[in-house]
A and B are shown apart, each in its own frame.
Chain A
């Protein structure tokens, strides 16, 4: 039997490392089972996950495993008695989370050992590369990508073949192929999972791209906050070099290309391709004016092509299966699959890859299992700080670049943050503006000052200091920043504000006119009081209150001094009689 532990960053964060150690410590010298690890399986809500295999066959998937489960697992592996792990085996319902997905970019994630080239090769790895290098011309590669309809998965959705072709058409001895792995959207972790779990897929996809455009050097710009991804990629590069999959005369085909990693310091704007190039060149990460486009003048003023991790992760599959197979999935203008990082107030969070054309409801309810704690779904934020929110009555919107764009949100890189009734939409917009205002590079006026002003207006609204006309002023600023900002960061920064105003204008008005937060999230607008008829005078709340704002005699109704109250909500959580009113 094989024990395989999911040890992506998420698994480790949930305690997979401890489980690994615990199992390892119980193993004897001539153990009958083996212990290995894999990357991210994609079910964050069930981490740590341990899979029990017989050869290639998955016998059991164990979830929410603790170090204390190690003994049972080891005994099970030794004896083959699977009933020992019944209590931690995944439920039928939860199995659906993966069963309902169609995995292309994530096809190896959680299945292979990320740092094993053999594992990757066993799973058809580098077959596409060999086929491309030995049997296809660069133009044929680009044509195949064109047939597939693959579009940039970083967010903008620009046709990949077009960019490749533009870079191919640029005349130069030196060209660069760059991978954008600066995944900066809060709540997005698709790219990290791919690199951590399946680094060779990225290398292979990039090599095919490099061959297509005529690049001899490949650079992966990955954020330094992804140490495990960097380590796995470094190992994979090393293995690939040794196997003549990188470097001179790859696989004896005469094609030479090498790869290096550049760790980024974590500026969100460096996810913008021209800022990324500046950063690669060792300069301050600030966007350049376009044109010239990177395909004409990119890194070191040479033709460069930049794609996102997920885009590259699809390439080998397309070459193996044909562009038409990829294009068979999806809608008229959005082909293939898309990976989403499903997070927020969702019951089952994790990585979801589904064919384009499914609805948001399919993802949130069909796969994600709906909202946590039986609360009401309110909206989903698509595309992180650059995207927008989509409300409940648009849940049947299909996942398609155009359809999502029409809602005011975007497909984005795949962040899908689910919000329930307790989320204040003004506060949500402020959260994202706090982020973009801070992450603005400071170059252009619209973004540097415009986002700051928007953030200031939102701040005063959530504090109950909003003024008549603030909504209109926000709308005006949003349009101006969209029109005037230099790069995508600024141009899209207004989206969370515009969509929340579009769908939840009443919440803005309640904050401004009535000084109330309908979601009861904005603490400055809340008043805590005790219902006299419900309070039993148990004194628990008074004891818990960190501000000493609650007073009263034993067995008599207590009162809250709202001047002293810091609105922390401790009393609400403490009261067993539901006597605390929050308005």
Chain B
């Protein structure tokens, strides 16, 4: 056969005369994007992604169909070509309706593959589930117990009845894995010889250490406290997170070769400079350990504590004398931890003073519920006006009665004092749990934000110092939930790895297609109630620090995991469309408009069709006709309203389907799904 030579992107290639440009490029390792091409089908040329530029040709040409001529000089990456490809992708995406990733994952700060591990739990593969979880979270048994689970708030199952119990399922799988004889253990890359020092062994520090170690770096965590775990160890009460569970997870990280040094205070036991000198990169994850004071007269009296100081002391085994009557100020999770811990410390009357109502309280509802069960008295719409002491010791607290006024910037109704209305409460201890602050000490060279937290780059987590990164509660917006710290640590680990290997620290936000789903669209789903976690009786649990929850039974867990609607696209990992969409920054929203009509899914024996995801590449129609010899599917309608349906819109044609799956195999998106 006669040979010809062409140049693609400066690379000289040889091909056969009569061959298309796309084919020659592919054979020579250059992929020209395409969504409607298949070597086994007649040329079609619909998607427009393979447009390329040829020297001396005024018009762009379709590489899938253009036959190469000897001596052609072609480019697949010029500005003009990229612009054409970008707009083609944006057009396709603007009419593509599907969820690449389930809303739970999308709303998990760490973007954990929740659908993926729930499936494995449903199938009974706990170790595989843990492997998936540990792609993002190195301490799942701990996180599963304490996470306020934004995933569940966004679980689409809530449109059917109730969200899945995602967090507890994660803890279930992780517990089973920890207890198994062969717990999951990731394999570390070969040593890079690079050293990373991590200051602070809380969730952020531990997580970053895990992934940096897996990347082959030599990681040491320095922590000021006697044990690793940070706020998980010293902030979260034992009854919510048994420290043994945390210890096991910390040990698993240490077993990978992460060095851990406790009782090391920066600036005291070792200088920051020395740490920097001995490491190729430093990550600061020191957390936010300073409680905010109540902010009223009398806050300096003996018997006034901050919530986190109180919790830390208890967690260290030093149960302070808090007396019989304890007032906890605040409505968040720390306030709940503090009041329930106070109950367990023997206080007889524990009050929660909160200036708004229960509806506005940021604490998890279950925490409030369980606190009430344990006898905690909630004084909503009250605010400490003055803490009154006797002999410098707290005696009582005067409360200003509040009412809700106009909504504030956060949308919550603003509490305003009811003039002249007060109430006095006799108390021995006042615990202030209205927020935490970061007070980084020993790192004077690091630039801070105006709120006193460490200023770290949003994409790379790098501080103003070269090679010094920061993540978690100590940075930028300050204290938040553990999974946020985990997510930031993942970003930091990625950035540090790139930094150490001299790669670009450029992590574009991935593009995902998202679908709007309403309850009506899920009306046909069978209703299955959410699994109820068994908990210890309030009368029993209020006297000790034993775990409140008993954990799911295996049967419960498997059934609960099966409730997952599998919202995320089954084809996400193989989807050509999303791969191309993420190869370049696209913004389909600028072209947003009507979407083609999505008919009810139509099954082809064992293939489910999702019109929303269909991009009309017509591969299914063509392979059914040309390769399978059936012609079951066809294009119906004209213009924008064109859809793929049984040929001539006649459902009877489906009867001919022999279930060969050729269509589903060729589908470049997740529009066709093989069932079972």
Contacts and interface: CB of A to CB of B under 8 A. Distances in A.
A480 B87 contact: yes
A445 B91 contact: yes
Interface string B60-99: 1010010100000000000000011001100110110000
A431 B306 CA distance: 69
Contacts of B193: none
Nearest to A452: B640
A24 interface: no
B39 interface: no
Given A289-B65, A446-B48, A438 B88 contact: no
Interface stretch (B177-185, B207-215, B322-330, B586-594): B586-594
Interface in A482-512: 483-486
Contact of B593 (A289, A442, A452): A452
B45 A445 contact: no
A291 interface: yes
Contacts of A84: none
Contacts of B47: 444-445
A450 interface: yes
B639 A438 contact: yes
A477 B639 contact: no
A460 to B, nearest CB: 9
B635 interface: yes
A291 B67 contact: yes
Contacts of A483: 51, 59-60, 84
A286 B45 CA distance: 11
Contacts of B641: 442
B535 interface: no
B106 interface: no
A439 B62 CA distance: 23
Given A483-B59, A484-B60, A449 B95 contact: yes
A291 B88 CA distance: 22
Most A C-beta atoms less than 10 A away, residue of B43, B47, B634, B639 = B639
A158 B634 CA distance: 34
Interface string A434-477: 00011111111110111111001000000000000000010011
Contact of B635 (A437, A442, A476): A442
Contacts of A286: 635
Contacts of B594: 452, 456
Contacts of A451: 639-640
B454 interface: no
B637 interface: yes
B199 interface: no
Interface in B614-637: 615-616, 618, 634-635, 637
A450 B91 contact: yes
B640 A440 contact: yes
Interface string B147-186: 0000000000000000000000000000000000000000
A284 interface: yes
A441 B60 contact: no
Contacts of A445: 46-48, 88, 91-92, 615-616
A448 to B, nearest CB: 6
A480 B84 contact: yes
Contacts of A453: 91, 94, 591, 593
Contacts, number: 99
Contacts of A438: 638-639
A480 B46 contact: no
The A interface, classified by DSSP as helix, strand, loop or mixed, is helix
B639 A484 contact: no
Interface string B23-44: 0000000000000000000011
A479 to B, nearest CB: 9
Given A441-B638, A484-B88, A448 B44 contact: no
Interface in A142-187: none
A267 interface: yes
A442 B95 CA distance: 13
Nearest to B51: A484
Nearest to A491: B59
Contact of A446 (B67, B83, B88, B640): B88
A450 B84 CA distance: 12
Contacts of A449: 91-92, 94-95, 640
Contacts of B59: 483
Interface in A189-208: none
A6 B277 CA distance: 101
B72 to A, nearest CB: 15
A527 B59 CA distance: 46
A267 B91 contact: no
B642 interface: yes
B344 to A, nearest CB: 59
B616 A448 contact: yes
A442 B640 contact: yes
Nearest to A469: B590
Contacts of B60: 483-484
Given A446-B88, A484-B60, A267 B638 contact: yes
Contacts of A480: 83-84, 87-88, 91
B639 A476 contact: no
Given A449-B91, A449-B95, A444 B46 contact: yes
Nearest to A287: B45
Nearest to A284: B635
Contacts of B51: 483-484
Contact of A441 (B43, B44, B639): B639
A445 B36 CA distance: 11
Most A C-beta atoms less than 10 A away, residue of B48, B83, B618 = B48
B59 to A, nearest CB: 7
Contacts of B593: 452-453, 456
B61 to A, nearest CB: 10
B651 to A, nearest CB: 19
B83 to A, nearest CB: 7
B637 A442 contact: yes
A476 B587 CA distance: 14
B639 A486 contact: no
A442 B84 contact: no
A192 to B, nearest CB: 23
A289 B43 contact: yes
A440 B51 CA distance: 20
Interface string A408-450: 0000000000000000000000000000011111111110111
A496 to B, nearest CB: 17
A452 B639 contact: yes
Interface in A250-302: 267, 284, 286, 289, 291
B638 A440 contact: yes
Contacts of B616: 442-443, 445, 448
B87 A476 contact: yes
Given A446-B91, A449-B92, 11 more contacts: A267-B638, A286-B635, A443-B635, A444-B47, A445-B92, A448-B640, A450-B91, A453-B593, A483-B84, A484-B48, A484-B84
12 contacts: A437-B640, A440-B638, A442-B639, A442-B641, A443-B618, A445-B88, A448-B639, A449-B94, A449-B95, A484-B51, A484-B84, A486-B62
Interface of A: 267, 284, 286, 289, 291, 437-446, 448-453, 456, 473, 476-477, 480, 483-486
Interface pairs A-B: 8 shortest CB-CB: A442-B642, A452-B640, A480-B87, A449-B91, A440-B639, A456-B593, A484-B48, A289-B45
Interface of B: 43-48, 51, 59-60, 62, 65, 67, 83-84, 87-88, 91-92, 94-95, 590-591, 593-594, 615-616, 618, 634-635, 637-642
